[in-house]
Structure 1
Amino acid sequence: MLIQLPVMIAYIKFTNLKCVAYDKPFADFRQCKLKALSRNTVALFLHVQLFQVPVNNVTVNLDVYRRANGYRPFMFNITVDFCSFLKNKKRVPFGKLLMDTIEIYSNINHTCPFDHDIIVKDMVLKTEQLQLLPMPTGDYLLKISVAAYNDYKATVKAYIQVVED
């Protein structure tokens, strides 16, 4: 006798976005906003203007938090040399999953050097992307800190909600 478990379908959406540039002569945010497309669909727009190009030494720290009496660390805190990561994404599975999503909507689809502005346009999180992650429903914070030449230049905090349908 086969027992069939109910399939839980959830939706995932952005709820807030905060961008901070620490070194404005190096790079600054021209745009950092969310736009509601429908009740459960929110698009992310991000435009980082680079003033000192080319950039060929980038480090990224990816930190995930879950809200439970404030935001608490949850499952991932990864720091990678972004230039070498782009050459072989399979080394960091969670980073690969995130980059596979981001590069569809952005111009971060090549290895270093970066000699142009960084643009993420109309990025929408889809339920299918959630299926590979063991994420229970709730509110999350995805914090991405970016360093160039071993000096942190910016942080992007994307607040995300995972809801059971």
Structure 2
Amino acid sequence: MSFRFLKRERGGWHPFLYAMTVDICHFFDGTFKNPLTTIIYNYMKAYTNFNHSCPYLANTDIRLIRFNLNELDILSRFPVDDGVYGLHTSWYIKNTLVCQMNSSASLTKSYRRP
């Protein structure tokens, strides 16, 4: 899986903070260690069935159910300015692109608490 964070600015979407590729099989078997990947997974693991080592069998559904972000926790770890941010992910199996997912979120001062 490859993912990159983006920020919407003049002229469109621009790279922001991180872009990386992660071998999910190595992540789940413990041979890939990366703090950012671990933080992202820890936010998502309560909401997904995407939590076991490879191989994933054909026709396995991967679900994200009732996902809810804790904005205050994220902002305490990654302080960012107001704006529109995006996440682009590309998923590969044996170097063949099988899925792309894009998401975006808008952050304004009205969402921040003192």
Above 0.5 in TM-score? Answer: yes
In 1, Cα distance between equivalents of 2:49 and 2:94: 21
Partner in structure 2 of residue 67 of structure 1 = 8
Of 72, 94, 105, the residue aligned with 1:160 is 105
* Higher strand fraction (1 or 2): 1
Deviation of the 1:112 alpha carbon:
1.4
Q: 1:1-165 alignment to 2 at 5 Å?
A: 60-69=1-10, 70-88=12-30, 91-115=33-57, 116-127=60-71, 128-164=73-109, 165=112
Distance 1:82 1:90, change over 3 A: closer
Q: Is the radius of gyration larger for structure 1 or structure 2?
A: 1
Distance 1:124 1:92, change over 3 A: same
Q: Compare 85-94 and 116-125 and name the one that shifted more.
A: 85-94
TM-score (norm 1): 0.59
In 1, Cα distance between equivalents of 2:16 and 2:31: 22
Structure 2, unaligned runs of 5 or more: none
Deviation of the 1:61 alpha carbon:
0.3
Deviation of the 1:136 alpha carbon:
2.2
* Higher helix fraction (1 or 2): 2
Structure 1, unaligned runs of 5 or more: 1-59
By relative contact order (CA 8 Å, sep 6+), the higher-ranking structure is 1
Partner in structure 2 of residue 31 of structure 1 = none
Identical pairs, percent? 25
What is the count of residue pairs matched by the alignment? 106
Task: Please report the RMSD computed on the Cα atoms of aligned residues, expressed in angstroms.
Answer: 1.7
The residue type paired with residue 108 of structure 1 is F
Partner in structure 2 of residue 43 of structure 1 = none
TM-score (norm 2): 0.83
Could you say what secondary structure the match of 1:119 adopts? coil
